[in-house]
Structure formats: C-alpha cells, structure tokens
Structure 1
Amino acid sequence: MDRRTFLAGGLGASLVPLMGRFAFAAGKPVTWWYESATPEQQQAIADVLIGGFNAAHPDYSLTIDYRGSEFDKQMRVALLSGTGPDVVYTAGPSYVAPMARAGQLLALDDYAETFGWNKRILPVFLEMGKYDGKLYALPKTYETLGIFFNQTFFDKNGWKAPTTIAELEALADEALKAKLVPFAAGNANWRPANEHYVTIALNSIAGPDNVYKALTGELPWTAEPFVAAISKLNDWWQKGYFGPDYFSLTDEQAFALMANGKAATMPSGTWQFQRIPTYFPPVNSECGFVGFPSADGIGEPVYALGVGSTLSIAAVSQIPDGAAAAIDYVFSPEFYSKMNSVWQGEWNTPLVDLSAVQISNEVPALYAETMKTLADAVADNHYGYTSWTFLPPATDSQLVNGIEEVWLGRSTVADFLAQLDATFQQEKADGKVPAVPAR
C-alpha cells in the first residue's frame, strides 16, 4: 500500500464534537467499559466512537464507562456475577481464553459471517481470538516493539540507528560514556513494562521460531536459546543500560528523557506514538523509530506481534446484536481514518484493506510507515510473539515478577526459566494457553 494514499486528505474539519448532537439518542442502550483515558482521549472517543456509531445506528445508543486502574478487577468480578457491560474489553488474548472457558463470552462466529469480519480482518488475528475452535474476541489494536530515538539528536552526534546487536551495544556504551541513559525505561506506573524487554530479548536473540516452538510445546522454556536471550538481557541491566531510575520512572517520563536528549534510545512499543506530538515539537526535533536489531542468524529485525486489547460480547448481554454492531463499527475504514487521525497507537485495527483509509496530514508519516512495516511483516510471516499476547495469565505474571528477581540478583537466569517453564506447562495442560497461529 502506498503511504501517500494512506495519508491522503485531512480530516480535521470532520472531527467536530458530536456529544451534544447525540446526547439524547433514544436507541437501545449498548454499554462498554473502558480503562483510563486522558480528557483529550475521552473527547476523541466521544466524537469518533460514540458520536459516529450512534449517528450510523440510530436504533442503538452506545455509552462508554471509564473504570480507571481497577478496570480489570471490576470486569472479572462483573462477569463472574453475570453482570457487566455488553462489550467486553480486555487487555489482550491471554485474558480471553479463561473467560471463554468459563462461558462468560458469546461466540462470535455467526457475527463474523454476517458482518464479513472473516474477509475484512487479517486472518492471523482471527485465529488469535479463538478458543476451542470458536471465535470469541477481535483485537482493538495490534502493536509491536522497536526503538524510538531522537533523530535530530542522533544527527547532531553523528549516530546512526543500530542494525545489529553489536552496533546497539556500541551505541549504549558510548551513551554511558556521555553520561546518558542508553535505554530510557521505567515501570513506576505499569510493572508489566518489564515484559516488554523480555519479549524483545526472546524474539531478537532466541528468535521467533524458537519462541513458537516453546508456545506450542515443542521446546521447553529452559532451552539454550532462551538462556542466551535472558542472559543477554540481564547483561544489559547489569551494565546500567536501563539507567538508575527504572523503578521510579513512568514510561511517559522515560519518553521525555529520550525526546530531550537525556537518553539515547527508548526500546518500547508503538503505543508511544501518541506521545510524539507532546514531546518532540517543543524541542524542535524529529522522532525516529526502527525495529530492534536481531542476533546473527535471525536476519532482519523481528517485529514481535502484540494485541494490546480485545473486544468481545458478554454471554449475558441482553442486546448482543447492538454490541456486535458497535464492534463492527470499530473495524470500519471510516472509524480507522478518524480515530487514528487524532489518536495514534491505540486503535490500529488489523484491517486487510487499508486503501479506503485516509489519515490526517498532521499525523507524522513515521506512524503510517511503521504500521505498514508491521502489516507487511505479518503478511510475510516474519513476526515474533509478545508475551502479553501469547502467554497464559499465570505464566505472564511469573515472567513480569521473575525478571526483576534476576535483575536484582535474587534469582538466576536458570531458576527464572525453570519457574517460567513449570508454570507454562501447567497452564498448557489446563487449556489456558491462547491460540497460536501456525507459522
């Protein structure tokens, strides 16, 4: 797909506030619980999602209820008690399997046929939303990991984006000498940020083929490729690549360090694109993004595939057709165009055909280029696996907690991987591993 087609046309004039216009919609209520969102993000949801859907579907009235940091807990409690919203929003596929297994979600296969989702959504994502052969979830957004950096700062210092692990480490060592943080990072606001770096190491050093084998039970997590990957990650931590303030910085503060030239790079996910307009214009700089370098023998950068959140329908919903219509609206080119024009990195729905998508010219070209690169990697079967998407819940929790023990010298790499493997094998036996599409 040509990027100029993708970016053609500005949508600013069409994104007028719609809340007042549809505040008194008389259609049947469709409820949706959401996590946290800034006032600007809530306005985007009000304008583009609520307003757009209610205008196109006058028989329904969509409402969004923001639940904040207690969202996941409240959703689990509600589903267990047979209450909650019509549209079930989760933090990723690993949450879907237990809910589907417990009978809390409605199978979506009939809706997929009715609305044409099987033709409109990339097949790999439909597979990821399945449990026991049935479709239970669609991805609200798909994402990947790579390296953000200040391109202007790099040019000024004569630096180039690293393309190999050796180049990455040389850049990190040079940054240390210059008293800069090599890898801007922090988990003060989100402890699972730990798994971003484990995911990078597993895919870029052990390689996606080995990760796939482990996910499908062909290879234990204690195998040598994973020992090498986690050992390398631990080496980076011990050398100080992650800086002295990892546990006290939020990811937004870390992004600011990188944008302001106080950190050389920021290994993170594409959700950070939403921060570029806030932090780069004030310092008159241009942001860069590249795939994380891969170890020798793996080839090009591996774009680990992640699903940041999913959409399902509650089994007890009294208006499942309305919930399905709301989900369908999210997977329309119209919605993609308007939402990604005002909010990048959180609504990158996996549409097969983006030819009808038009993004505002005010959106950095880097965003569209990165999303196209990710889409091409998926289409070419050259992608990796994010832990929060493909690991079952307890295994993922073990990974997040356990890597800190390694970094702080309280556990060994071998012990970390042994515990990870033991937890995974138990969850695999219990049928809790999310669907893993064949390579």
Structure 2
Amino acid sequence: MNRRASTLAVVSMTAIAGMALAGCSGGVAAGKEKLELWFWGAPPAQQETMQKVLVDGFNASQDEYELEVNFDNAVDKNVQVALSANRGPDVVYGSGPAFAAAYAAEGKLADMTPYAEKYGWKDRILDSMYESGTYDGKLYSLPNSIEDIGVFYNVSVLKTLGVEVPTTYDEFVDVLDKAEGAGLYPSVTGNQGWKPVNQNYISLFLSQVAGGKAVYDALQGTIPWTDPALVEAVQASSDFYNAGYLGGKDYPNLNFDQSMKLLSEEKSPFFIGPSLAFQFASNYFSDEAGNTEDLGFMAFPTINPELPSPYYTLGTTASLSINEASKNKDGAAMVIDYMMSDDFAKQMNETWPGYWAVPLKDFDLDAADYDGLSAPFVTAMQNTIEGVNAGDYGYFAGTFFPPATAAAFTDIDSVWLGNTTAEQFLQKVQKVFDDEKAKGLVPPLPEPAN
C-alpha cells in the first residue's frame, strides 16, 4: 500500500469496475463459505508465500470458510470504489490506521471490538498499535506489521570508505560526506511514482528532532503544530534534503526497489527507509549472489541529544479491517485472528522478511532460527518492540495522524524545494488538523516516555 512505489501500476478502469462489482462473499466453495481478501500486487515468490502460509494454512485450520486472496496493483483504488458501493472483500486491507479511520467514520467498516474481546487482541497486541486502530472508542483495524524508519547499510562500501558502522549522528553525517566525496550517493531513496514516501522522512525528523512527546502533544491539541520544536524538525528535514542526503538530485527519480539495487551495486553506503524495504532487499542481496552478509540495518542515529539512543519512528505497513457489508464478518475476524499469531509471524518471516512483524507484545521469534535476510529483520523488529515498550519512539504520520493531516505532511517537499517556509507549512497543517480534530478523527495514542 503506501510507500510501495516500486510495485504500483496503472490498472484499467475495466479491471477496477470488475473488482468493485464483486460482491462480498457469501457463496459456497467446496462446502465452505467463501472469504475474500484483496492484497497489493506482490511479486510471484511472495504471492507463493502468502498462498502457502495464509491461504492454505487458514483453510486447513477450520472447516467453515474458504479464503481467497486476490493480488491487485490498484488495490487502494479498487477498495475505495468497492466500499463506496457497499461491496468488496470481506477482509479489508488498507494503507494503515489513518486509512481505516476515514472509512470507519463513513460506516464502511465493521466494529471489531466484540471480536477483540472474543480473541483477546487487546492483551496480545502492542498497546500503541491496538489504540491506533480505534475510532470513537471502537476498534476498526489492526496493523499487519510494525516498522521502523532506519538505515540499511552496505558493509563492503563502509570498508572501502575506511569507516565503521556509525553509532552517532555526527559519525553518520561524516560517512555521508565521505561517500559524496568518493563520488557515491551519500544515501539512496526516492519518491518516484508515490509521493507519500515523503511521509517517511518528515516523520523521521519530527521524531528525531522534536521527539515523540512533542508530536503527541500536537496531536492532542495541547501545543500548536507551529511550536518551535516542530518548526525546528521541519527545517532540519529540509536541511538534510538540501545537503543531498536523500538520494541527492535523484530523489524524484528513485523508488525503494531501485534504491536497494543501487545499495547492492555499492553505489552508496546507505539506504534510509522503512524496515519494510527488507522485502526489496531480497531481490539483490542473496546467498546466490554471495552478498547477504553485506547488508546491515540499524536504527537511525538519534539526532536530539536529549532523546534516548536508539530512538524509533514507529509505523505500520498496512491495516486489516472487516467490511461492514460482508455477509461473513465472523469468518473475516477468524482470518485476522489467524494473522495476529506467533505461528503466522514465524512462518511468513522465513521467506518474506520486511512485511510481517506482527505487532505482538511478545514477538517470540529467534533470529538464530532464520537464514538470509530474515535474521537481521527479526533482530531489528525485536529491538523496535523493546524500544516501543520503553516508550522511546515517535510516530509515523501515515499510521498515527488523522488521514488529511498525514496527507498534508506529504507536501513537505514544498519546504525542501524552497516554495514555503517551515512555519508557513505548519500553519497549513494546523488548519487541516483543526478540522479533523473537531470531527474526532485523531486516534487515541499511548504517550511516549520522551
């Protein structure tokens, strides 16, 4: 969903209309009631993993329902069309809690609170993740995975530059400068084809400069978005961009897949991005290529010395909800419960690292049980969960901000490109936020420790 620029494609209006007209399942397949989930157009190997672990696993686990997953590059648009017509899949896959909140407000998603009580989700899921899916005191979505915005690095490039893996922000900037001096990209990333990628980097700087507590206070309305700490964070993101540290001049021309390819080709020491990008790394770092050990991942070095180190920017990859129009809500809830389990997380991460860090309070996965890129991904997510439990985190906009406010932060490049000042930008954000806060669209959030 959001931030998947490298996989999105244009789909004909005929295909959109065809999926939108598909009714919520209620038919019988092999003596079972049919359930549908529409998912983004994952590559073939990942589709195979999902078929084996989710579809075949769920279908074998019970004898009431038959789950089908449809892979669709235009799933965002198709879900929007279908829900507006009171049709569509039973399990609604979305871009995150902000996506779900907007549909919950329109009555398009089912209240999952009774299922949360039945299955014990509140006791099982990280508090911050559970609360992010609530609206007006009721649960409407659960995230399929947590993520952090950190730094992928190429060990071989660092050795060539004669430096160690940086542990402080000053060391990190020194390596960025050395890379540029050596004719490399300081780091690689970009928003080609999907402008909401910008949310990664403004979220990162709001967390790393202003801190999660300041962002929390702005979301509660106790300080304005034009608070000096937040203005400083926006300006810091602009300074970082204009120093060439986000893909240089190629930021508009790169996406995550291309960036990971450049990292594997030793064109840069770093790829700054969300941990979900592990799923792209598997295309370029592998046992077959003999370079798996070259890829590392670390938390972004803490910028503000008053914040703990490491300090995380907590987000989600997607959200799972139940269609209000579904004829099989109980079955849809069973699917979501199946996915909110330790066994499901263990199996999915064997071959699909990056997308399935199920937000369990007890993420009981052992990196020693995994090969290839799954091992560093599991370690990274265990560290993130430890930081979340300690309260050492800020917020990813697309997960925790109300939807229009998150969208407003997508335009952070207006500051980066000098079209507006940091304070003017945040004044516009404030107007959008005030409207959404008045409508009750701000999700309830646990307060970070810092």
- Report the equivalent of 2:214: 210
CA contact (8 A) 2:53 2:344 kept: yes
How does 1:36-47 map onto structure 2 within 5 Å?
Answer: 36-47=41-52
Question: Equivalent of 1:390, from 400, 413, 423?
Answer: 400
- Report the equivalent of 1:196: 200
Give the TM-score normalised by structure 1: 0.90
How does 1:316-355 map onto structure 2 within 5 Å?
Answer: 316-355=325-364
CA distance in 1, matches of 2:371, 2:165: 26
Q: 1:153 to 1:335 in 2, by over 3 A?
A: same
Q: Is 2:267 the partner of 1:240?
A: no
- Report the equivalent of 2:381: 371
Q: Is 2:424 the partner of 1:419?
A: no
How does 1:58-207 map onto structure 2 within 5 Å?
Answer: 58-69=63-74, 71-207=75-211
CA distance in 2, matches of 1:62, 1:364: 26
Q: 1:223 to 1:365 in 2, by over 3 A?
A: same
- Report the equivalent of 2:305: 296
CA distance in 1, matches of 2:390, 2:160: 36
Q: 1:136 to 1:267 in 2, by over 3 A?
A: same
* TM-superposed deviation, 1:37: 1.0
Question: Equivalent of 2:280, from 241, 264, 275?
Answer: 275
- Report the equivalent of 2:18: none
CA distance in 1, matches of 2:30, 2:209: 53
CA distance in 2, matches of 1:273, 1:319: 34
* TM-superposed deviation, 1:51: 0.5
* TM-superposed deviation, 1:363: 4.6
Gaps of 5+ in 2: 1-28
CA distance in 2, matches of 1:276, 1:269: 12
Q: Is 2:232 the partner of 1:228?
A: yes
CA contact (8 A) 2:352 2:374 kept: no
CA contact (8 A) 2:203 2:396 kept: yes
CA distance in 1, matches of 2:110, 2:273: 34
- Report the equivalent of 1:28: 33
Gaps of 5+ in 1: 1-23
CA distance in 2, matches of 1:395, 1:355: 35
CA distance in 2, matches of 1:232, 1:120: 37
* TM-superposed deviation, 1:123: 2.5
Q: Specify the code of the residue in structure 2 equivalent to 1:431.
A: G
> Which deviations, in whole Å up to 9, do the C-alpha atoms of 1:157-188 show, x marking residues without a partner?
22123333322222222222111111211111
CA distance in 1, matches of 2:227, 2:85: 42
- Report the equivalent of 1:287: 295
Residue-pair matches, total:
415
> Which deviations, in whole Å up to 9, do the C-alpha atoms of 1:176-234 show, x marking residues without a partner?
21111112111113211111111111111111111111111111111111221121221
CA distance in 2, matches of 1:261, 1:228: 33
Q: Secondary structure at the match of 1:301?
A: coil
- Report the equivalent of 2:11: none
Q: Specify the code of the residue in structure 2 equivalent to 1:59.
A: E
**How many percent identity over aligned positions?**
37
CA distance in 2, matches of 1:364, 1:328: 23
CA contact (8 A) 1:30 1:319 kept: yes
CA contact (8 A) 1:149 1:259 kept: no
